[in-house]
Amino acid sequence: MVQIPNQYKSKEEYVHHIFASIAHRYDLLNTTLSFNRDKYWRTFAVSKSGLQPGGKGLDICCGTGMLTIEQARAAGPRGKVVGLDFCEEMLAVAVDNIKKTPFRDNIELVQGNAVDLPFGDSTFDCCTIGFALRNVPDIRKTISEMSRVVRPGGKVVNLELSKPSAPVFKQAYYLYFNRLVPLLGRLGIGKEGPYSYLPNSLKDFPHQSVIRDMFEEEGLKDARYYELTGGIVTVHVGTVV
């Protein structure tokens, strides 16, 4: 179980501190630690969102905005995408990232909380969350809120680290993830802690099949998941009724 240091009142406060401290290096380390596969994972997730040109999408826990930008690419110049995150430091990096794209006029960034989304019912055509469901204070509440703000027939999509099951590959992956990722992360940001949290947070996170069941229990139909890159990442998809 992830141990919350005594100086933090809650997991939410601790996670905020972690992401505020790594925001400046987050994208570089994601690409490096994933061997550049993170870009493919985001593209695949958005391909399952059903977002069409001219559509309206939401990306919660958007961080530095990379999945938000991928949504904007799918929505095109007539579309609209909103990125929401609770960490101002991550949103500041997202602003800079978005400025470098042709989608700066199609993306709006909002500071807010995943378990209490500041949007009306059935506002969006889809809602995505990338590498963040394991960090929220309430997984079910987050899925429920995502479902609430998406119109009937729209998609809820979760892109998240997961637990590979293939023999040998599984052992090699956990060796890398549990031992080398914290070391490389420490070298990348110059401090210990944030990238030790990463493997610990995955240990506590439910198996991908359990998350699929949660999608169904929160009222999403046709819930399914796709394991990518040997199962180290999973994309969950469900349709709002």
Q: How far apart are CA 182 and CA 124, in angstroms?
A: 37
| pLDDT number for residue 8 | 82
Res. 1: pLDDT tops 80? no
Contact 148, 91 (CB under 8 A): no
* Confidence tier at 170 by pLDDT (50, 70, 90): confident
Contact 214, 202 (CB under 8 A): no
Q: What is the pLDDT of residues 113-168, one digit of tens each?
A: 999 999 999 999 999 999 999 999 999 999 999 999 999 999 999 999 998 888 77
Q: Is residue 2 part of a domain?
A: no
Q: How far is CA 90 from the centre of its chain?
A: 13
Q: Is residue 234 part of a domain?
A: yes
Give the domain range for residue 22.
11-239
Res. 185: pLDDT tops 60? no
Two tokens, residue 196: 């030790």
Q: What is the pLDDT of residues 157-167, one digit of tens each?
A: 999 999 888 87
Q: Is residue 152 part of a domain?
A: yes
| pLDDT number for residue 24 | 85
Question: What's the total number of domains in the chain?
Answer: 1
Res. 194: pLDDT tops 80? no
Distances from the Cα of 61 to the Cαs of 68, 108, 166, 232, 237, in angstroms? 10, 14, 30, 20, 17
pTM of the predicted protein model: 0.91
Q: Is residue 120 part of a domain?
A: yes
In the chain, % of residues over pLDDT 90:
70
Q: Is residue 116 part of a domain?
A: yes
| pLDDT number for residue 192 | 55
Q: Identify which of 193, 198, 206, 203 has the alpha carbon closest to the alpha carbon of residue 234.
A: 206
CATH number, residue 172: 3.40.50.150
Q: Is residue 1 part of a domain?
A: no
Contact 51, 75 (CB under 8 A): yes
Q: What is the pLDDT of residues 58-114, one digit of tens each?
A: 999 999 999 999 999 999 999 999 999 999 999 999 999 999 999 999 999 999 999
